[in-house]
A and B are shown apart, each in its own frame.
Chain A
Amino acid sequence: MVKPTRVTNRIRALRFARGEMTQAELADLIGVTRQTVIAIEQGRYSPSLEMAFQIAHVFKVPIDDVFQYPYSEEETK
């Protein structure tokens, strides 16, 4: 069944905290298209684990500072 991703991210906030880095600059640093960065920021695409680590590396923060997953009560039992 097709369902929307529950992964959220702070890429937009982190870009602005890094001197207003543009989406194109971030895309160049991780070797993807600007459209992919836009899709990730808007939660329309979940990046691979490798890409998620690359993004965290660019911002020099742990991966869970960039991506969050809201667990339901059932999942945390």
Chain B
Amino acid sequence: MTLEERRAWIRLAVAVAAYCAYVAVVLDSAGGRPLAEAGYAAALLWSVGASIAAAIVIEALTGASPRMSRVKDVRDREIGRLGDYVGQSFVVLGAVAAMLMAMAGWERFWIANVIYLCFAASAVLGNVTKVLVYRGRFPQW
């Protein structure tokens, strides 16, 4: 496993864990009330901040094993670009959805959450793509 492949695994795990933790906190704070009345802003900001910090700390703490290549080569860069390209579709989807929801006068809770859901989906999809390509065949078009 290269350093870049392990980085993709870490970011995938962190993205899933952070989003699941956020959903659990928001559902808990709703406490039976309508979801749109639940406090979400602090949990969302903490979730985003903690996921970025956790990815950096885990990558730093785990370090490279002696057998692991520290070189970032052309294949790593191509896989990185492909993963980012695939993940980006969800960022666009989230932005368009948020724009339409704002125009239609939806509550801020739903607008913020659709954007965060798409950010999380983008990170998951992008990193799943990277892991799959590292483990399998690089696609040819």
Count chain B CB atoms within 10 A of each CB in A1, A31, A32, A46 and give the residue with the most. Answer: A32
Instruction: List, in ascending order, chain B residues with CB within 8 A of A1's CB.
Output: 141
Instruction: List, in ascending order, chain A residues with CB within 8 A of B141's CB.
Output: 1-3
The size class of the interface chain A forms with chain B is: 20 to 34
- Asked if B1 and A35 sit within 8 Å, CB to CB, the answer is yes
> A70 within 8 Å of B by Cβ?
no
Complex: chain B residue closest to A33, CB-CB? B69
Q: Which residues of B contact A (CB under 8 A)?
A: 1-2, 5, 69, 71, 73-76, 134, 136-141
Question: 20 more A-B contacts (CB under 8 A) besides A3-B139, A31-B73, A35-B2?
Answer: A1-B141, A2-B139, A4-B140, A5-B137, A5-B138, A5-B140, A31-B71, A32-B75, A33-B75, A35-B1, A35-B5, A35-B69, A36-B75, A39-B75, A43-B137, A44-B138, A45-B75, A45-B138, A46-B138, A48-B74
Q: What are 8 A-B pairs with beta-carbon distances under 8 A?
A: A3-B140, A4-B137, A31-B71, A31-B73, A33-B75, A36-B76, A44-B136, A51-B74
